[in-house]
Amino acid sequence: MVNEVDNRPRCCHQARRTLKFSLDTTTHLTPGRVVGGSPPSILKLSRRGETTINKIIAGGDVEYSALVRRMLNLNQLHPRPEPSTADPADNVTVVTPVFGQRLHEHPAEDGLHIIVVDDGSTPPVHDATIRLDRNCGPATARNVALTSVTTEFVAFVDADIDVGLDITWLTALLSHFDDPEVVAVAPRVRSRPQRGIIGYHEHHNGALDLGPRPAVVRPGTRVSYVPAAALICRAEAVRAIGGFDEDLRTGEDVDLVWRLHDAGWTIRYDPSIEVQHEPRASFGEWWNQRVGYGYSSAALAERHGDEQLSPLITSPWSLAVIVAMAATKRPSVGVTVGLGIIGAASQQLRQRAPDLTDSEARKIVLRGTQATATALGRAIRRVWWPLLILLCPISRGARRLLAASAIFAVTPMVVVDDIAHGVGIWSCVIKHRRFGPVIPVLRRSRPQPASPTP
């Protein structure tokens, strides 16, 4: 747990002891229990805990108790921080690596510290603070700049990110550091609306857009990483883990976030603050970008384990429901078998959490099955479609799964996006012979009942 780590760098930023919070949209309350979050979990509540929850619902300020920490870490609860009193000009240095054209000038009002690193561009970037003799990649460029940062916080902002005309986005994100456990915060990165198929797809399905719901960022959860395209961090904490991995050309931000998490820190995603990303101008550039994202999978698996990069992590129960519905010749039989499996899974869940009612257990299993269906569709479109195509002539189930994954993609560009990502994944796993990113992981069904909380 984060509060068990004692060797982390300390901060000067003054933390508030109380804060307002809001429940996640998945969280619901029953007498003596909190159910929901990511991963889905059940917390038993004492009377004191119920009082705390009621105070949160009423909009009151609440201390960072063990219960609050537990709910935050399980994505059952999210902070609603007040505007920070810290001045970004005194506390933040903005670091922007540039290779080639710099699309956006970031505001330098009120003496804000800005370091622009020219990563070997030809011609050179005219206003660069630091110039590298050759192109070394964004990880190296950011690390070089980090050695010159003297402020408590560093904001990594890519050259194709538009943060607006002022620094209010920084002021808003700084408020999260009132929690002394928070080491990094990312805003929502949305692609700038543009005409054309790519522009429309990027605006609605941008690779850097992690959605409208806030989250604590942890591997294996709904928001498992945040990009360094726009990311504010405690500078000393980033230095303490060695900065970005300079051997990674892509995925270096995912690696950084996971190492910060492993060091015991908390990373938050706050979609109430938005910045805009400039999408790729041509289909070729866009395709190569997506392939590059997928290509980082094997290197990340080597550093963090195969399970973190698996295309599908689910319980055998959820997978069995979907396979039963897809494999049977008659849809009515498939539905009947699927409902039977859901009932059996619900009963097993009640054995592990006797306080659950039949209705609550079924709802939890159904939500898990829905999540598995969504993840399975993406896994098929990204990595398993070649195998299913080979099975289509002999397997009705393979045909159904392949068709369903394409239909639920909603638009053809989502299919193309996933295929491009998959090309990168297969390229790297074949080259490095690290097959974790294409192998599913089956594990004990969730939610795991948590022990009673104070």
Other C-beta atoms closer than 10 Å to the C-beta of 350 total: 16
What is the model's pLDDT at position 449?
A: 43
For 88-279, which CATH superfamily applies? Spore Coat Polysaccharide Biosynthesis Protein SpsA; Chain A (3.90.550.10)
What is the model's pLDDT at position 18?
A: 59
What is the model's pLDDT at position 17?
A: 55
What is the model's pLDDT at position 10?
A: 46
**Cβ 87 vs Cβ 151: under 8 Å:** no
Rounded average pLDDT per 10-residue block, the chain, 454 residues: 41 58 87 83 87 90 89 92 81 92 59 90 88 94 96 94 84 91 96 86 90 93 93 97 94 96 96 90 89 92 90 87 80 84 87 78 85 90 92 88 88 93 93 90 59 43
Domain boundaries, the chain: 17-80, 88-279, 313-445
pLDDT digits (tens, 9 = 90+) for 76-96: 999 988 877 778 888 999 999
What is the model's pLDDT at position 109?
A: 57
What is the model's pLDDT at position 451?
A: 43
Other C-beta atoms closer than 10 Å to the C-beta of 329 total: 8
Nearest to 249 by CA among 116, 160, 119, 138: 138
What is the model's pLDDT at position 223?
A: 94
User: Cβ neighbours of residue 152 under 8 Å, at least 6 residues apart?
Assistant: 11, 12, 13, 91, 92, 234, 235, 236
Cβ burial, residue 58 (10 Å; 0-12/13-18/19+)? exposed
